[in-house]
């Protein structure tokens, strides 16, 4: 029987980011006593909002009303 890769798994993995390994030299362990989970989640939310805003700006530069599209195509 020929090898058939699982397409669903491949599609799921496309959108994922790689997780840092414990063996990665840049990984630094932080003790739980030294971690403020509220600050961590707040930082992650801020980063996500920045990313969403950046994507919105990129998308808005690609959208043109139909009349402008024809004018730019003719130019």
- Render 1-41 in DSSP notation, one character per residue: ------HHHHHHHHTPPPPPPTTSTT-----GGG--HHHHH
Tell me what pLDDT residue 61 has. Answer: 67
Q: Whole-model pTM above 0.75?
A: no
Alpha-carbon gap, residue 44 to 56, rounded angstroms: 18
Tell me what pLDDT residue 75 has. Answer: 57
Tell me what pLDDT residue 55 has. Answer: 84
Q: Please report, for the chain, the start and end positions of each structural domain, with discontinuous segments joined by +.
A: 35-75
pLDDT along the chain (75 residues), means of 10: 52 64 86 91 95 80 64 57
Which residues, 6 or more positions from 20, have their beta carbon under 8 angstroms from its beta carbon? 26, 27
């Amino acid at each position: 029987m020929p090898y058939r890769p699982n397409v669903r798994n491949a599609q799921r993995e496309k959108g994922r980011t790689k997780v840092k390994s414990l063996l990665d030299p840049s990984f630094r362990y932080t003790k739980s006593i030294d971690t403020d989970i509220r600050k961590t989640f707040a930082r992650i939310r801020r980063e996500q909002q920045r990313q969403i805003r950046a994507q919105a700006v990129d998308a808005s530069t690609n959208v043109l009303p139909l009349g402008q599209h024809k004018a730019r195509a003719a130019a």
